[in-house]
């Protein structure tokens, strides 16, 4: 998903998705190699905190307000924990996922479009 101030980041992610779906999975499938892309939303930690601070500065508001808006855009009202991504990787490496390839697997707590963030004025 695209967000303001992050066009190069978004472009690289779409590139990986394209390579996964249209090239790698088809090229390596004959060798029984499965290729998938895991697409997590905001992951708890320093990186998302820096993103929030940068957006708060850009929008002339507080990081707390930006974080509250980000969280309000997800059905589960929380960021992703790194352990959840590890869990997806473990599953994909297991025999249970032997027919999953060429997929974009989203772990996002049902995140809506963050590019439409509206900050309420006080």
Long-range contacts of 92-101 (CB under 8 A, 24+ apart): 92/34, 92/36, 92/38, 97/34, 98/34, 100/34, 100/36, 101/25, 101/29, 101/34, 101/35, 101/36
* Residue in the block written with tokens 């993103």: 51
Residue 9 bears catalytic tag: yes
Q: Which of 9, 28, 70, 91 is catalytic?
A: 9
H/E stretch holding 104 reads: strand 103-107
- Catalytic positions are 9
């Amino acid at each position: 998903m695209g967000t303001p101030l992050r066009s190069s980041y978004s472009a690289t992610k779409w590139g990986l998705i394209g390579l996964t779906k249209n090239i790698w999975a088809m090229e390596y499938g004959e060798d029984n190699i499965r290729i998938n892309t895991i697409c997590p939303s905001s992951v708890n930690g320093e990186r998302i905190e820096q993103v929030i601070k940068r957006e708060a500065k850009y929008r002339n508001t507080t990081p707390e307000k930006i974080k509250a808006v980000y969280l309000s855009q997800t059905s589960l009202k929380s960021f992703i924990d790194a352990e959840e991504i590890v869990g997806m990787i473990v599953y994909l490496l297991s025999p249970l996922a032997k027919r999953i390839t060429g997929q974009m697997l989203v772990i996002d707590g049902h995140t809506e479009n963050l590019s439409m963030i509206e900050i309420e004025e006080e």
